[in-house]
Amino acid sequence: MGFFERDNARLHFQEIGEGEPIIALHGLAQHSDYWMKTGIADALGKTYRFIALDLRGHGQTTVEGEPKGYNIDTLVEDVRALADHLSIDRFHLMGHSTGGMVASRFAMNYASSKDNQAAEEDSRLLSLMMVNSSSSTQFSNLSETANAVAINMLATSFETFSWPMIIQGLKLNPGPLFAGIANANNRQALYAQALELMKGSDGRSVGGFIREFYDDANPYVERLAKIVCPTLIITAELDHIFTKTSRILAEHIPRNTVHHHPSCGHMTAIEDPQWVINTLLVFLDIDALHL
């Protein structure tokens, strides 16, 4: 466990293991425990140095005053600052959902060819791992006006209701993000685990994050096409929104491998952590052999 400061933010991270570094980014209303308490970190930490960051607005990361920096460009630079703080030059970068959006933009900025010339040796990334994610931050098919209304309603729910109330609401209406949990035989245990992870964040901060972050419908396909590092794309059958957005990643990132879970939903590390572990280890082993 550690902290580092960047401007008016105090960013929290957890790490385990030694070896090539992996920096992992969580999704909305989660935090670094999404990786640390689902077995993912322990499994990868046997071979790699696994580092999980709390994004702004989440977990133990705090921001004093304004600006909060809940935008993707600031979060990308938080990742770079974390690597620099730990004296890490090159690393694997993994992001789930919202964290994957940040990871894809980081790859566009710091693992991209210039002037159509291969530049893998200049890349800060050894690999990119996109888990149930997107390269755009406005991932709905709604109009700009309708999306703004939906974002306001979502943010208000986090700012108004307690975490147990939110989980109870998801049990009644799981929506697209909890469809996999709702379909699982052990759904009650998975809802309880999701609640424990959510309780590590402040709902008002999460609401503020929602209001600022999800505002860009552009998937930046031209920039995806210039990503030079090997890329893993994880999708899942019941993750209807992000399976669609992940197709854009697969169509445009040159050196990509897609793994699709046949029955899981959006919260893959909670729903089937062993499958995620196996998929990541196979990809990382192949990547190490440069195949």
**pLDDT for the residue 291:** 40
**Would you tell me how many other CB atoms lie within 10 Å of the CB of residue 121?**
7
Q: Model pTM greater than 0.85?
A: yes
What's the CA dihedral at 76, 271, 47, 97 to 10 degrees? -10
Rounded Cα distance, 178 and 198, in Å: 13
- Left, alpha or beta for 64 (phi > 0: left; psi -120 to 50: alpha)? beta
Tokens 């040796």 appear where?
A: 121
In DSSP notation, 248-289 reads HHHHH-SSEEEEEESS--S-HHHH-HHHHHHHHHHHHHHHHT
DSSP SS3 for 19: coil
pLDDT along the chain (291 residues), means of 10: 95 97 97 98 97 98 97 98 97 98 98 66 90 91 81 95 97 95 97 96 97 94 97 97 95 97 97 98 76 40
Alpha-carbon 266 to chain mean position: 11
**pLDDT for the residue 119:** 58
- Domain 2-288 classification at class level: alpha beta
5 token code pair = 């400061």
**pLDDT for the residue 121:** 59
**pLDDT for the residue 289:** 46
**What is the phi/psi pair of residue 181, to 5°?**
-65, -45
Rounded Cα distance, 113 and 49, in Å: 27
Give every CB contact of residue 159 below 8 A, 6+ residues apart in sequence.
203, 204, 207, 208
Cβ atoms of residues 237 and 259 within 8 Å: no
**pLDDT for the residue 287:** 58
Alpha-carbon 124 to chain mean position: 18
Structural element, H or E, at residue 3:
strand 2-6
Q: Kindly tell me the burial class for residue 225, based on how many C-beta atoms sit within 10 Å of its own C-beta (0-12, 13-18, 19 or more).
A: middle
222 token code pair = 């031209």
Rounded Cα distance, 116 and 222, in Å: 11
DSSP SS3 for 165: helix
**pLDDT for the residue 178:** 97
Per-residue H/E/C for 24-72: EECCCCCCCHHHHCCCHHHHHCCCCEEEEECCCCCCCCEECCCCCCCCH
